[in-house]
Structure formats: C-alpha cells, structure tokens
Amino acid sequence: MAQSDREGGVAPVQVRGTVLTVRRVDAYVAMTVVAPAIATRFRPGQFIAIAVGGPQSAMLGRRMFSVHDVRPDHGGTVEFVFAPREPGTQWLADCRSRDVLDVVGPLGRPFPVPREPASCLLLGVGTSAAPLFSLAARLADRSCPTDFLLGAESADRVFGALTARRTGRSAVITTNDGSLGSRGSVVDMLPTVVQQARTDVIYASAPLGVLRAVCALADRYAIPVQALVTEPTMTCGTGLCMGCVLPSVGNDGITRMVRACVDGPVFRGDAVRWDDVGTIPFDALGAPGWKPRPGAPASVAAPTAPSTPDGPPAHGSAGERSNAG
Amino acid sequence: MPADLRTRIGHLDLPSPIVTASGCAGTGRELAQFTDVARIGAVTTKSVTLEPRAGNPAPRLAETPSGMLSSAGLQGPGIDGFLQRDLPWLLSRGARAVVSVAGHTAREYGELASRLSDAAGVTAIEVNLGCPDAAAAGRPFALDAAAAGQVVAAVRGSARYDIPVFAKLSPEVTDIVAVARSCVSAGADGLSMINTLPGMAIDPVTMRLALAGLTGGLSGPAIRPVAVRCVWLVREALPDVPIIGAGGVRTGRDALELLLAGAALIAVGTVLFHDPSACSRIQRELEEELGARGVDRVSDIVGRAHEPAGYGAERHSWV
C-alpha cells in the first residue's frame, strides 16, 4: 500500500549533498552533487529540487533541475545543467566545490521506455535537452536506435551536441541564428528527421511553445510523444503547493488540472491540452459552472494519473516501468 | 531530558503542538514522504469544498522576499472525494486530521460540517473564513465580525458536539479581537490565526502581474511579526480560548515565539514548500529550545509573554 501511493517510482528523499564540481559549459553551468540516495533511485526524466540562498534564505521556492546524469563515483553523484538567470540560480552558480546543498529528489514520473526495440527521436531545446542523454543510454540498453534533434538560439546554447553525435544514430542541430547546424527551430526540421529516421516515438524536452508544436506535428504523423514540461514554474517540486497545474485529459476523457511536478514532468503528448495551458478549460473537472454528469460514478471526482498507464503500443505499461529501474 | 511536547486542548490530546497549516500539506501523502504524519500534532487539510474545484489558472504562486504570494483557488476533489480517498488515507497512517472547510454561504459551511460529522475520525474542523461571501459581494467572511460569527454558528450547529471547531481569522481587519469575540460567542472552541495578507507582484520579465489570479495571499516568514501581534492581542482579550498560531514559522525558535504570544498549537505552512520535512525538524528544535530553558512541558510556556516583566527572569536564570 505504501509503495502504491507513488505509482511507478521510489519515494524521493531529502539529503544534504556536497557539491563536487561546478563547471562552465558554453553558456551554461554544470554542477555535480554527491547524493548517493538520489543517484541510486533516479530514472531518466526525473528532477531534483534544490533550496537556494542558505538555511535562512529569503527565497522560499526551490529551484528544479532535470537530472542530466548520475554516476557511481563517491557512492553516487547527480549532475544537472542550468543557465543562471535570476537571483536563486545565480546563488547556485556561485557555489563552489565542498559547499553543501539541501537537495530533494528524485522527483516526478520518469520517461517510460519501449518494451520492444523502437526508433526513438530525442528532441531537446537548450538546457531542456539535458535529461535526454541518460534516457538515450537507457534506450540503448533496450536496443532502441536513437536519433537526436537539438536546438537553441545560438551555437553556445546548444547543449550536448557532441554527445549526441557520438552516441546517437543521427544528430541534427538547429539554431535560430544559424551559428550551428541549420538555421531555424527544431520544429522546422522535425518532419524531415521523422521521415528519415522512421521514428516510432518522440521524446521531447523543450519550452511549452515548442512542445505544443511538436505534439501537433507528431499527431499528424500519428507518432506518440512523451513530453517533459518545465512550465508552469514549480515552487516546491513535491506536490505540496499546487502551483504548477496544467490541464490534462485522463483515460476516462475527463480534463483535470494536474500538477506538473507529481503527475509529470513527463506527460503523454496527447494528454496535455497544450492550447489551454495557463487557463482553466470550461470543461475541466471542477471549473466554474462545472456540474457532475448525472449518473456518473462518484469516482469521477478522484483525480487519477493521466500519464501513460495505457501508453502507445511502443511503450511499456506502468507496471513494466516500475520493475525496470 | 527533552521537554514534553504533548498538548491538550479541550478533550483533544495531541502528541505535539506542531501541526500543518491548511493548504500547505497537500493531501498528506506528499508530506508523508518526508515527515511521519503520525508523529506531528495533526495534519490540517486543504480547505474542503462541497463540489470539486479546479482552482485558479497558473501561475498561482510568486516568490517574494521571505514570503510567497499564492492564489491556488481552493483546488480540490470536493467533500465526496475527500471522504472517499483523502481522509481514510490520513487515518490509515495514524495521522490526526483537522479538516479545513470553505464555502460561499453559511449554509454550505454547515452542510460540510454535518458531512464531516457523519464520517469517523475527524479530529477538529477549521473554518476557513477567507472565502468570498456570496451575500456580501465577495467580501471575505473574516473581514466582518457578524458574517464570521454566522458561519461559525452554522458550523457549530451542524458539527457533532465532540468535534472542536476552530475559526481561522484574517489579519486584514482593523480590530481582530472583535472578530475573535464574535466567533467565540458563536460557538467556536478555538481560533486559528493568521490567514494570509493580500498582496500583489509584477513579473519584471513579462511586465505583467505575476499571478493569474491578479492578487494573492502573502504568507511565509515575512508575515510572522503580524501573526505574533494578532495572537498576542487575542490572547490578551480572550485568555481562555485556545489558539492555533500560524504565520511564517520556520524554526523551533519561531514556534517558541508564537507559543509565548499565546498560541497553544503552531501551524507550519509555507515553509513546507521550502523544506518538506520542516514539521519534524521544528518539533525537534522546539524540544531543544524548551530543554535549554529548563521548561519541562510545552503547555507551561503558552502565553508566557503576557506575564509581568521580570516574572520569568526571577524564576529562570536563562535570561
């Protein structure tokens, strides 16, 4: 019973992790933290929540980072990549080796992986691409060929281009200014890449607008998408604050406001109502004026997990995922 | 020897004065991953409404200096979902459930109270008076002593006699004691304070309001001094009414401050977003703070700040 509270995963832990390394990677900062309890529990797609500003910090929100990679050295380390943009992440970027951080993780639902070998396209924009590389390794274990489609504004903001070229069957890079790869956005290249690679499933990690476009295109080609969202902004990462909700359609066809941190961050592309993110759709469960359907079972009110239990054919079931870690 | 944290309010026996604040502990499941919910005083639930509610659109939260602005809009499964799934889960984990209720009319509050009374295992009811009053053009009940009293009377009238009713008060009033008196004379067994303060934030990147709900409630350590004042004032006026003190409690020392001001229970809220294990930590820290002051029982220091100056200093050498 205790384990079923958190479907398909092990409960997260809160640890004090020592910073091992802080590196500049082009426009980004890559940080490695010693956190064995998180490293051993981690599965690709999950994220960590870090408290910033020290123990009496005036910044109460945690900062969320998709885990780029975990390694077994020092008992287990966790690496993540970010662009310091606001005071919280700036504080983190100023941390040095041996500083101690309050880290919670691993959080959220991981990427489901195919049961049978399938051609996978890994699509990422900027630092959002970071979680795709541990996923690629996991897919390789399952003999799935992986193709990469990475994009960013400029060459120094494309994350992991080298690794993608080395480990992927193919790697296509796009930049808005044309400084690396082809000029344009990942969405422009998607049709070409999908056709050349004969993609069976797309794993996408990108800003909301890109995910919306990718899911619309994939829908046209009837390719399932697993989308990792980073918006709306998460505050606690643990599901307590109810801040990061987006409208998602469950298997029963009912739209619910679900939390990106616990019901995601990985969603089936066709489950999220991308055009309605940032709103409460009028037909969402409990929206103003909403009425229970006459004769509907009482369990209609129970928010069920919208993501992946009956994934597309190429995907493992939830049960299969939980014993696969 | 560590101080005895057991707390007795009326006929309620709680193992600790540390409880969660409404809306900050999820359904309890999220918190239980980091804190043993059976070992804290009680879990106060998100405010339960009659119907399921989708809440407000995102963004719902904005970080402010030492605080948080929030307008989640009471998203929740409604009373049916709560009684079916959330309450049984809390009880199965050995937690005590203080159920917060919210509505738009006194009648809705009363109906919720009677539904909760039919269910086994409700430790107490907290009346969220921060909701807009449909009969007063959306002014929150807590801002008007008479309206607040009517809601409390409706809840007290419908709730089983052995379930204590706490009224949650807003600091956004000229005279919080008047509202407190009105609630107590309407039958409230205790008071809970403070709810959030209204605030607004603008995102410098988008140059638009930071919250989709336009304004939000400010909580967190930023409002702790406001909470201390409200608790102190009400304790001074109504010394026999038990108070749940809430407002930015982050450490055992913060909890001690509210206890000294007159709160018998301490609710930990926004800080849980920052540190999900805060309840257990604060409980441990409070034990240490009391031990360091030679206090044996936490109940001994409730309202101590109201005693004449020098009284404490004569009896204890820690100052």
Cβ–Cβ < 8 Å for A264, A229 = yes
Within 8 A by CB and 6+ apart from B73, the residues are B53, B54, B55, B56, B60, B213
Cβ–Cβ < 8 Å for A121, A193 = yes
Residue of A241, A272, A290 best to disrupt the B interface, most CBs of B under 10 A: A241
Q: What are the φ and ψ backbone dihedral angles of B266, each rounded to 5 degrees? A: -120, 125
- The token pair at B151 is 């809601």
- Chain centre to alpha carbon of residue A149: 16
CA distance linking residue A155 with residue A161, whole number of Å: 9
Q: Is the pLDDT of residue A7 over 50?
A: no
* Residue type, position A152, single letter: A
Cβ–Cβ < 8 Å for B124, B156 = no
Cβ–Cβ < 8 Å for B227, B194 = yes
Q: What is the CA radius of gyration of chain A?
A: 19
pTM higher than 0.80 for the full model?
A: yes
* Residue type, position A3, single letter: Q
CA distance linking residue A146 with residue A161, whole number of Å: 14
Q: How confident is the model at residue A264 (pLDDT cuts 50, 70, 90)?
A: confident
B276 → closest Cβ in A238, A244, A298? A238
CA distance linking residue A43 with residue A107, whole number of Å: 10
Residue B40 lies in a domain: yes
Distances (CA, A) of A78 to A8, A18, A27, B189, B217: 21, 10, 20, 50, 36
Per-residue buried b or exposed e for A223-246, using 16+ beta carbons within 10 Å of the residue's own CB = bbbbbbbbbbbbbbbbbbbbbbbb
Say whether B230 is catalytic.
no
CA-based nearest distance B237→chain A, Å: 33
Inter-chain contact A299–B275, Cβ cutoff 8 Å?
no
A301 beta partners: none
- Could you please report the per-residue DSSP string of chain B? -PPB--EEETTEEES-SEEEPTTSSTTSHHHHTTS-TTTSSBEEPPPB-SS-B--PPSP-EEEETTEEEE-----B-HHHHIIIIIHHHHHHTT--EEEEE--SSHHHHHHHHHHHHHSTTEEEEEEETTSEEGGGTTEEGGG-HHHHHHHHHHHHHHS-TTS-EEEEEPS-SS-HHHHHHHHHHTT-SEEEE--PEEE--EETTTTEESSTTSSEEEESGGGHHHHHHHHHHHHHH-TTS-EEEES---SHHHHHHHHHHT-SEEEE-THHHH-TTHHHHHHHHHHHHHHHTT-SBGGGGTTGGGSPTTHHHHH-S--
CA distance linking residue A133 with residue B155, whole number of Å: 56
Give pLDDT tens digits for A13-60: 999 999 999 999 888 999 999 999 999 999 999 999 999 998 899 999
Inter-chain contact A301–B77, Cβ cutoff 8 Å?
yes
Residue B311 lies in a domain: yes
Answer whether A240 touches B (CB < 8 Å): yes
**How many interface pairs between A and B have CB atoms less than 8 angstroms apart?**
140
CA dihedral A173, A176, A179, A182 (to 10 degrees): 40
B266 beta partners: B18, B245
Answer whether A301 touches B (CB < 8 Å): yes
What confidence score (pLDDT) does residue B311 get? 57
CATH for B185: 3.20.20.70
Q: Peptide bond preceding A117: is omega within 30 degrees of 0, i.e. cis?
A: no
Give pLDDT tens digits for B108-154: 999 999 999 998 899 999 999 998 888 888 889 999 999 999 999 99
Residue B308 lies in a domain: yes
Per-residue model confidence as pLDDT tens for chain B (319 residues): 678 899 998 889 999 999 999 999 989 999 999 999 999 999 999 999 999 999 999 899 999 999 999 999 999 999 999 999 999 999 999 999 999 999 999 999 999 999 999 988 999 999 999 988 888 888 899 999 999 999 999 999 999 999 999 999 999 999 999 999 999 999 999 999 999 999 999 998 889 999 998 999 999 999 999 999 999 999 999 999 999 999 999 999 999 999 999 999 999 999 999 999 999 999 999 999 999 999 999 999 999 999 887 655 555 555 4
What confidence score (pLDDT) does residue B133 get? 87
Q: Identical fold at A7-107 and A109-318?
A: no
Q: Which CATH architecture has domain A109-318?
A: 3-Layer(aba) Sandwich (3.40)
Query: Which residue is listed with tokens 């008060």?
Result: B169
- The token pair at B200 is 């607004």
Cβ–Cβ < 8 Å for B179, B145 = yes
Residue B2 lies in a domain: no
Which residues on A lie below 8 Å from B25 (Cβ)? 240
Higher pLDDT, A261 or A6: A261
Strands B165-169 and B190-193: parallel
ipTM for the predicted complex comes to 0.89
What confidence score (pLDDT) does residue A318 get? 37
Mean pLDDT of A210-226: 93
Strand order in the sheet with B197-199: B61-64, B67-70, B216-219, B197-199
What confidence score (pLDDT) does residue A311 get? 39
Q: Which residue of A has its CA nearest to B271?
A: A60
CA-based nearest distance B57→chain A, Å: 5
A146 beta partners: A120
Q: What is the CATH number of domain A7-107?
A: 2.40.30.10
What confidence score (pLDDT) does residue A293 get? 65
Q: Is the pLDDT of residue A62 over 50?
A: yes
Mean pLDDT of A205-231: 93
Residue of A14, A41, A242, A274 best to disrupt the B interface, most CBs of B under 10 A: A242
Report how far apart the first and last C-alpha atoms of chain A are (Å, whole number): 20
Count of CB atoms situated within 10 Å of the CB of A288: 10
Q: How confident is the model at residue A324 (pLDDT cuts 50, 70, 90)?
A: very low
Answer whether A261 touches B (CB < 8 Å): no
Q: Is the pLDDT of residue A5 over 60?
A: no
Inter-chain contact B58–A232, Cβ cutoff 8 Å?
yes
Per-residue buried b or exposed e for B251-269, using 16+ beta carbons within 10 Å of the residue's own CB = bbebbbbbbbbbbbbbbbb
Where do the domains of chain A lie?
A: 7-107, 109-318
How many domains are contained in chain B?
A: 1
Residue B233 lies in a domain: yes
* Residue type, position A305, single letter: A
Give pLDDT tens digits for A163-210: 999 999 999 999 999 898 899 999 999 999 999 989 999 999 999 999
Tell me the residue range of the domain where B156 lies. Answer: 7-315
Count of CB atoms situated within 10 Å of the CB of B314: 8
Q: How confident is the model at residue A296 (pLDDT cuts 50, 70, 90)?
A: low
Q: Is the pLDDT of residue A141 over 60?
A: yes
Q: Is the pLDDT of residue A108 over 70?
A: yes
Helical (H) or strand (E) element with A293: none
Distances (CA, A) of B20 to A14, B33, B86, B246, B276: 19, 15, 15, 9, 11
